[in-house]
Amino acid sequence: MRNGLKEWVDGHITITVRGKRFERLLNMAVRDGIRIWNIRRVGSEVSRCDILIRDYFRLRPLLKETGCRSHVENRDGLPFWLLRVRRRAGLAIGAVLFFIGLYMLSSFVWSVEVTGTKHIDPARVIKAADQIGIKEGAWKVKLKEPLLLQKELLSLLPEAAWVGIDIQGTKVRLQVVEKEAPVKPLATGPRHLVAKKRAVIHKILPEVGKSQVTNNQLVEKGQVLISGIIGNEERQQAVSARGKVQGEVWYVSNTSVPLKQTLYRLTGERQEQQYLLVGPYAIQVWPFNKEGFADAQTEEKRYVPSYAGYTSPIGWKTVTYTQIEPITKQLSAEEATEIAKKFARADILQKAGKDAFIQDEKVLHVTAENGKVYVSIHFSVIEEIAVEQPIIPQAPVNNGNP
């Protein structure tokens, strides 16, 4: 099995072999364990192939024995690349100095970001971080362990319940979680609970106030469900009514679904691209020239070494592309109807609100035309129907007496 990376590291050449006994030469090379690939005929007695540098010298006795001659057409791989770099020493030294400078620059903190604050001033968080050494221009190697930094920062910010310190490259992100103040109950004035829509009472549980309706009773919008007036005719008191009232509400949903659906499936073909991470930069390493897929799912994995709270500015990234292809599926009327039901249920429950559930559903009619299926569905939904209504005190009636 070929290993392209190993071939590149060891170095390989492309040679042209002339002679009538080329097949005999190949058999002898395979017998001696010499690796030859990309074999192709370019003439009646001319062939071309690729071979490792170390195997080329082992091939010379076989060339003499078979009466063939060879000529080097192309050279590729790490040894030849190093040779070219040696000839351009100035360029190589400049590249090394560039990466050293990039490494040094990525070893410092260049920005401090604060997230999660609501009541605490972010400038105050940055000032507290400056006191423990987290600031622009700080050398990351000299920073303390993240746990120690968190404890020191928490001691300077008593309003914070937790502080997270995340060092990503040259950026330090401070995530603050503030302490929650005890929630005080809101003072409410006298009120009724009334129906927000037409419904049949399913369940009523009054906590404060007087129930005005019973189960299975039809109520109209605005009708009082739990009264905030308690007591008898002689002694009455207005309170803030509380309770839970569930009612059966009816909806009609009209939904359409196309009969022709476009779906995507995986073909199994995959491609990987390798990148060298240097600080905030990603340099593509392998492969250099490869056509991508027209449609693909992308998955990215990063490996950045870290030890004792110090994150290396040098890392590795692998991006995997998985090919997908569109397929067209023709739905039957029954399949389209089931899909329409799912859409309609989700839409109705979103309209009905929290804790609502569908008690019954019935398809009224199904029509297929213009490449779509139109479905009308009747739903019976149990939902919360009570809303607040303030009690407005009535002014005393003046009969004209002074």
Tens of pLDDT, residues 228-287: 888 887 888 888 899 999 999 999 999 999 998 888 888 888 888 888 888 778 888 877
pLDDT(39) > 80: yes
| Band (133; pLDDT cuts 50, 70, 90) | confident
User: For the domain bounded by 109-176, which CATH number is listed?
Assistant: 3.10.20.310
The lowest-confidence range among 3-12, 122-131, 372-381 is 3-12
In the numeric block, the tokens 């002014």 are attached to: 395
Report pLDDT for 76: 87
Determine the Cα–Cα distance for residues 40 and 42; give it in Å rounded to an integer.
6
Confidence at residue 284, expressed as pLDDT on a 0 to 100 scale: 84
b/e 277-287 (16+ beta carbons within 10 angstroms → b): bbeeebeeeee
How far apart are the C-alpha atoms of 73 and 16, rounded to whole Å? 7
Give the whole-angstrom CA distance, residue 273 versus residue 282: 11
Hey, where are the domains in the chain? 2-75, 109-176, 189-243, 253-257+329-382, 263-302+310-327
How far is Cα 176 from Cα 118, in angstroms, rounded to an integer? 9
Indicate whether 84 pLDDT > 60. Answer: yes
pLDDT at 376: 94
Q: Given this model, what pLDDT does residue 401 score?
A: 53
Q: Return the H-helix or E-strand segment holding 211.
A: strand 210-211
Higher-scoring residue by pLDDT: 99, 197: 197
Residue 365 backbone zone (phi > 0: left; psi -120 to 50: alpha; other: beta): beta
pLDDT at 320 over 80: yes
> Regarding predicted confidence, which is higher, 4 or 260?
260
d(CA 178, CA 180) in angstroms, rounded, equals: 6
User: How far, in Å, are 282, 306, 307 from residue 312 at the CA level?
Assistant: 14, 6, 8
Is 158 or 199 the better-scoring residue by pLDDT?
A: 199
* Angstrom distance (rounded) from CA 41 to CA 273: 32
Q: Would you say residue 88 has pLDDT above 80?
A: no
Which helix (H) or strand (E) segment holds residue 376: the answer is strand 372-384
* pTM of this structure: 0.46
Q: CA 322, CA 294: separation in Å to the nearest integer?
A: 11
CA dihedral for 155, 157, 160, 162, sign (positive or negative): negative
Distances (CA, A) of 129 to 124, 173, 308, 315: 9, 11, 20, 27
CATH of the domain spanning 2-75: 3.30.70.260
Confidence of residue 290 (pLDDT cuts 50, 70, 90): low
Tokens of 137: 């221009």
Pairwise pLDDT comparison (195 vs 306), residue with the higher score: 195
- Buried b / exposed e over 46-82, threshold 16 CB at 10 Å, is ebbbbbbeebbeebeebbeebebebeeeeeebeeeee
Whether the pLDDT of residue 214 is over 80: the answer is yes
- Which tokens in the block code for residue 235? 């002694």
Indicate the pLDDT class of residue 10, thresholds 50, 70 and 90. confident
H and E: helices and strands count for the chain: 8, 24
Mean residue pLDDT of the chain comes to: 85
Q: What is the average per-residue pLDDT within 160-169?
A: 83
> What is the maximum alpha-carbon separation in the chain?
139
Sheet architecture: strand order including 386-390:
210-211, 224-227, 191-195, 386-390
* Cβ proximity of 224 and 193 under 8 Å: yes
pLDDT above 90 (res 93): no
Question: 359: which strand partners?
Answer: none
Write out the two tokens for 282: 């990603």
| Confidence band, pLDDT 50/70/90 cuts, at residue 181 | low
For residue 175, what are the CA distances in angstroms to 134, 283, 366? 14, 30, 54
Q: 175 pLDDT exceeds 70?
A: yes
Beta bridge partners of 249: 381
Q: How far apart are CA 12 and CA 79, in angstroms?
A: 9
* CA distance linking residue 254 with residue 376, whole number of Å: 4
Distance CA 388, CA 59 (A): 95
